[in-house]
Amino acid sequence: MTNEQLFPLLDEFQIEIPSWGFADTGTRFGKFHQAAAAATIEEKIEDGGEVNRLTGIAPTLAVHVDWDFKEDQDPAEVVKLAAEAGIKIGSINPNLFQDQVYKYGSCTSPLENARQKADEHLEKCIAIGRVTESEFLSLWFADGTNYPGQDDIIARKRRMESALKKWHDAMPETMTMLVEYKPFEPAFYHTDSADWGMAAHFARKAGERGKVLVDTGHHLPGANIEHIVAFLLDENMLGGFHFNDRKYADDDLTMGSIDPYAVFRIFHEIRNAAHRGTDVSKIAYMVDQSHNLKPKVEAMLQTVVTAQELYLKACLVDRNKLADFQANTDIVGGEELLRAAFYSDVKPILSAWREAKALPADPLSTYRASGYEAKRANERSARRPDAGKGTSYA
């Protein structure tokens, strides 16, 4: 395919990055502190702006309410800050797991006060979303149980149905509700929204702007994620993605670092759907991963570039030829077409596209050469002399 055909496809592809991707995170065994890690919404916007400035395809920043919007934080101020950094506020991510009241769940808890707290929090999130003009309310639930007999699975199902309906109806019409699923962690016996089938059920019950969010790390071993994606797309129920990679469980490694061919196959199904006439323009591509050890901004740049490369590779598949192979049950022929696209060297195309956009040809090297990280490490350490005093697992 020619650059003329490919550039418009590249122009359309954007990926949202999460504010919490610039903050210190860790495992239950501890957090390793980075001097340049962002701690405030101001610093996160600064980092997010840098990633977008270097890649040109990360114009929105997902925010996590409570982490990013403290009590006294004015959302309009945040919008302004973002604009100054050349980006916008993206999806609104409520926090329904951190408060002590959520010990037995949030909207599914048997405790009235937990459910009420969740309702109040969602009200606040939707209000913020109105100010930030966010298109997506992105719901991840830690809700579930740890032991057989702990709670009534169906009572919890019904509580979730009614909460989501209520919240859906409270959203402005411009907002889409994304319902995530996850098989386990932090709930270790049953998770209320455990798989795509349950998430699709809850999203449908919530209302017509309810869609499913696929987090690539939230599947049992072996799950064929591209199949789920294709299925949801064909049912008009795919809302978007939280991208990350994993080898074992929800490892939250950077996208494409473990199994890049699997990511390519997801994009392949999306391009296939587009070829078939399905509208794929509303899919929210988002990153959600935990750079425990990698430097935050580097990891995000690596991720955004990887996403773009793998997406472009998927665009290279000759879909008419593929349909021919498939009609003739030529398994090897069809497969080789995919492999050829996957192994294609797309760096020249991307360099040309970046040049046309006045972007650096290699965002990661440009960043490494810029001194950005050292500068932020100094500034931010000075602001937080106590950072890095770790917490303890037990």
Write out the binding residues for a second copy, residues 248-277 only, by CB under 8 A. 248-249, 251-254, 257-262, 265, 268-269, 272-273, 276
Query: In the window 340-359, what residues touch a second copy (CB under 8 A)?
Result: 343-345
26 vs 207, beta carbon nearer a second copy: 26
CB of 342 to a second copy, least distance (A): 8
Residues 6+ apart with CB under 8 A from 209: 168, 171, 173, 175, 176, 177
Q: Distance (Å, rounded) from C-alpha 163 to C-alpha 15?
A: 29
Residues 6+ apart with CB under 8 A from 243: 15, 216, 255, 263, 285, 286, 287, 288, 289, 303, 307
Q: Are 87 and 15 in contact (CB under 8 A)?
A: no
CB of 209 to a second copy, least distance (A): 20
Query: In the window 223-252, what residues touch a second copy (CB under 8 A)?
Result: 223-224, 226-227, 230-231, 233-235, 246-249, 251-252
Tokens 């591209």 belong to 226
Exposure class string for 29-40: b at 16+ Cβ within 10 A, else e: eeeeebbbbbeb
How many residues does the structure list for the chain? 394
Using the contact rule CB under 8 A, the part of the chain among 53-61, 93-101, 117-125, 279-287 near a second copy is 93-101
CB of 38 to a second copy, least distance (A): 10
Query: In the window 198-217, what residues touch a second copy (CB under 8 A)?
Result: 198, 200-201
Query: In the window 133-172, what residues touch a second copy (CB under 8 A)?
Result: 142, 146-155, 157-158
Using the contact rule CB under 8 A, the part of the chain among 45-53, 75-83, 118-126, 333-341 near a second copy is 333-341
CB of 170 to a second copy, least distance (A): 25
251 vs 379, beta carbon nearer a second copy: 251
CA 194 to chain centre: 17
81 vs 258, beta carbon nearer a second copy: 258
Q: Distance (Å, rounded) from C-alpha 18 to C-alpha 243?
A: 11
Nearest by Cα to 61 from 73, 76, 51: 51
Secondary structure E strands in the chain: 17-18, 26-27, 30-31, 60-64, 88-93, 136-139, 144-145, 176-180, 190-191, 210-215, 238-243, 284-287
Query: In the window 38-77, what residues touch a second copy (CB under 8 A)?
Result: 64, 67
Q: Identify the three-state secondary structure at position 166.
A: helix
CB of 306 to a second copy, least distance (A): 8
CB of 326 to a second copy, least distance (A): 5
Query: In the window 371-390, what residues touch a second copy (CB under 8 A)?
Result: 388, 390
The site that binds a second copy (CB under 8 A) totals a number of residues, namely 111
Binding residue (CB under 8 A) for a second copy from 2, 281, 320, 392: 392
Handedness of CA 265, 87, 381, 65 (dihedral sign): negative
Q: For residue 206, what are its two tokens? A: 């919530």
Binding residue (CB under 8 A) for a second copy from 335, 356, 361, 375: 335
Q: Distance (Å, rounded) from C-alpha 231 to C-alpha 219?
A: 16
* Span between the terminal Cα atoms of the chain, in Å: 57
130 vs 278, beta carbon nearer a second copy: 278
CB of 254 to a second copy, least distance (A): 8
Binding residue (CB under 8 A) for a second copy from 3, 5, 162, 326: 326
Q: Distance (Å, rounded) from C-alpha 68 to C-alpha 76?
A: 13
Query: In the window 273-302, what residues touch a second copy (CB under 8 A)?
Result: 273, 276, 292-295, 298-299, 302
362 vs 379, beta carbon nearer a second copy: 362
Binding residue (CB under 8 A) for a second copy from 7, 13, 26, 377: 26
